[in-house]
Structures are given as C-alpha cells and as structure tokens.
Amino acid sequence: MRQAGKLGLNQETIGRCRTLARRVVDVLMPDIRARSTDSCERAILRFWGVEGPVAGSDVPLVNAVVDSLKREGRIQGGVAAPVAALMAATGLEAGEVCARLVAGDLAWPASEACVTHTVLDQARRLTEAGFERIRAAAASRKDLEQGREAPLPWLYVIVATGNIHEDVKQALSAAEAGADCIAVIRSTAQSLLDYVPEGATTEGFGGTYATGENFRIMRAALNDASQKLGRYVRLVNYASGLCMPEISVLAARHGLDMLLNDCLYGIIFRDIHRMRTLVDQFLSRAICASAGIIINTGEDNYLTTADAIEAAHTVLASQFINESFALEAGMPPGLMGLGHAFEVDPAVEDSLLYEIATAQLTREVFPDSPIKFMPPTRYKSGDVFYSHVLDAMFNLTSVLTGQHIHLCGMPTEAIHTPFVHDRFIAIDSARHIRRAARSLGGDISFAPDGFVAGRARDVLQKAEKLLDDIAGVGLLKALSDGVFAETKRPPDGGRGADGVFLRSESYLDPFAGRTARYD
C-alpha cells in the first residue's frame, strides 16, 4: 500500500520529527528499564506456562503468587529468580511450584538461593520454552495465511455480544460477508481490572472479556472459516489497561494477529498511572514483536474529544512517539498499525479534502506501516442514510490514499451495537468501493500549491513544533498540560500506581537480551 511522494513533504522535517520523538523516548527509557510492574511479573509467569485459577477459587494463580511475593516484601527482586530457584530445588514445574506456594506447602526461598548458575539456567530454559510456544503459534498462523491473503485494505469489523459463543456466530457471519479482521470488543472497563479472568465467559457488558480461553475459541473458529472461505481472517483483541503484557502473552500463545496497544492511551483515556503504562507497554510490545503481532495505536481517539482540524498535528506527533517506543521494544515498522481517523465535521466546507490530506500524509510519513484508518463516529446521527453516505466517503478516502487496515463504519453508529445486517451493509459498501476504485490512488496526483498538499504540509510543520515543545519539557509534563486529546493527567495520579516498583540489583529479567531496539 505504499504511496509515492505526492504531497511534496519536506523529508528533513520528517527526519527531524523522528529525531525529536527519539529524544522524548530516550529521556524516559532509563526510568522504564529500571522498573517493573505487577502485570509484568504476572506476564513472566504466564510466559513460563503458569495458568489457571487458585484451587477452589476464581483468583488467577499468577495474581496470587505475585501478591504473596509482595507480602514478603521481596517484589523488587522479581518473581523469576525465586520461582526458578524452587523449581531447581524441588524438580517441580513452574505451575506446580506456584500452586504449592499459594497453598502454603512451599515457602519462598532465601534471597541468596536465587542467584546461582543453576537458577539462571532454569530461568533461561523456561523463557526459551515460552518463545518456542509463541513461535509455534505464529508459524501455524502463517501457514494458514499462505495462499489465502486478503486484498488490501483489510476490512475490519467488531463483535461485542458479551458471550464468546455468540461472538463466534457473529464473527463467522461477518467473515462470510467479506470481513478480513474480526475484533472482539472487551467488556466495559476490563482495562481497569488488575487481573485477567479465567476461562470462557458469557456475561460481558458492552463486549466480551479478553481471556486465554476466549482467544482459543475464537481463533479456532476463524481458522475453520479461513479454510472454508479461502481467505485468511485475522483475529484482533486489546492489550491495554492494567494487564497489557499478560494479554500480549495470551494473545501470542493463541495465535492472534493484532492487538490494540498504545503507549499513551491508558494514561489519557483511562487515567492509568503513567509509569505503569509506559513500563507495561514496553514488555507488551517486545512480546508482540517476537510473535509477529501487529499493534494498533489509538490516536484516532484524540479526535473524539478534540477538533479534527485544529488537533490533526497532535495525532501525527503521537504517531511519531508511538513509533519510537515500538522501535525501542524491538518492533519493526511492518508491525506498527499506527491509528488515525476520519472525524472532520462534515458541515465544514472541503471536509473531504481535509480528510484526504491527513490520510495521505499519514500514509506517506509511515510508508512501511500497516496503517489503521478509523471511520467517522463523532458526527454520526440517527439518520442511517446520512451515516451510510458519510461512511462511503470514508471508504473512498481509504482506498484512494492506500490505507491498510480499514475499520468499517456502521450506518447505525450511535444508535445500537451493530446487528448482523448492519454489519453486512457496512462490509458490502466497503467491498464495493474497494473494487470500484482499486487503482484510483495510482492515477491521482495533488497540485503542489493545492489544498490537499498545503494542508498536509501545515499539519507536518505543526507536528514538528509540538514534538519540539514536548522534547523541551518532557513527555510527562506535556501529558500534565493536556497536549493530547485536550485531557490533562496530573503527574502523581492514576490507577495502578501501587503496582509499579524499582528493580533491585538482584532482579532477574528473563527477557534480557530479547528486547533490544530494532535496527
């Protein structure tokens, strides 16, 4: 979906934006690397194969183990070394060691027993076994995709019944109608839960809980659909909130293709503690990179609270920052589904040209990324015919500017959760325009002194200025000032703060050397 340089963008300006974003991230990386979180420690255990609830309860075993280590006052050393030490001493596997710790049948070892060569070898073995599991899942996914590649842009729709088994029915009907990506919306406020529910779930609110078993069920259903349809259907979920790295591990193990994952979204829109989010996203993205999972960032949300014309440059600046954090975690551009949206007020004259300008700008600035383009939502109304026309303009813009991941707009947006027929209408419109305008982008150029090119250059220049300002004061101060989405987050606030800690000198990082910056 590469687009030639039609806008006459100043490449030095783009390079300076990347340099400024790198500077913003580099300032924070020492603090990020010096810390871990409860969710990172739980992710390590999940990576090592620990799963299921505590016997006789619904409490996830990984939560109980990390909470036990915190009560011992030893969380700063991390969970990896003491669990590996107990495995070496007892000959038990990680899950059984954890179960016995929680039951009181084993005690945490003395700290000096956790730093031996035997313990380090045990930890390396467990970590390599974890990587083998996610590599096997990724290989299986690639084998199924081979020869079944869907045309671009991939058409992406959501299911959100609350019941995973009903979600499967809706997902299969959407795939048969032509959808290429199925996103299972999470239950309302799951991002604020400091645990991942266990098992298959049937009672979500506004969506379905993200769990390992739900991932397995939907992946199996979409695998069958891919074989039947001769077109690979991708599975999408959410790795955000207080359990970001844990969900990435589960998604990698069960062969998901995409995860919504952003370095700033939890801070801005969920008021999650800033360092909790930044530390969690780093490990989450390293896991996604190892598993070949495409991330979807959340800049489209900025335009639900800020004006799409006035705030377009904040979207671009944030995309540069998201890109820089992702590179730091070892993620290549081909896995960075940077997000933006079609949200200009349609009552504005030349609103379509504004949309084309920013869509083309995003495509040209990030030519190697599978850009995700979000449909209009803010100015939808109860008039389904008007909404359908607005979605059609969005569909045309997406094809014209070479977008990669295309979330289909629903004519009933703002009325109710889409019915099967609403979804069919949305997919049918997108497929028609994708087919009818397939080669349009290659035949169109933009006048160097015209509206579209001028608007794109203006947004780029403003993004450079904003990144310069953020680099000057630091990202955390900029977030306090509300530079993104007109939302201010105080420096010391946010949920999950008690789950962040400084690593001690004896901390064992089982991923060390596996999360180097991508070059």
Which of the residues are catalytic? 265, 300, 372
Torsion of CA 63, 66, 70, 75, to 10 degrees: -150
Q: DSSP H helical segments within 72-211, as ranges?
A: 80-90, 94-103, 117-145, 164-177
**Euclidean distance between the first and the last CA atom of the chain, given in angstroms as a whole number:** 22
d(CA 459, CA 465): 10
And the tokens for 139?
A: 């290989």
Residue type for 428, please? D
User: Quick one: residue 512, left, alpha or beta (phi over 0 = left, psi -120 to 50 = alpha)?
Assistant: beta
Q: What is the DSSP string of 232-284?
A: --EEEEE--GGGHHHHHHHHHHTT--EEE--SSHHHHHH-B-HHHHHHHHHHH
Contact 274, 479 (CB under 8 A): yes
d(CA 316, CA 200): 38
- Write the CA distances from 40 to 118, 126, 247, 278, 336, integer angstroms: 23, 16, 10, 11, 22
Q: Which of 255, 260, 186, 185 is nearest to 222 (CA)?
A: 255
Contact 141, 234 (CB under 8 A): no
Q: What is the DSSP string of 444-495?
A: ----TTSHHHHHHHHHHHHHHHHHHHHHHH-HHHHHHTT-STT----TT--B
Q: HSE of 171 in the Cβ direction (CA atoms, 13 Å)?
A: 33
Q: DSSP H helical segments within 151-264, as ranges?
A: 164-177, 212-229, 244-253
Contact 163, 216 (CB under 8 A): no
Query: Which residues fall within 8 angstroms of residue 345, CB to CB, at 6 or more apart?
Result: 307, 308, 309, 351, 378, 379
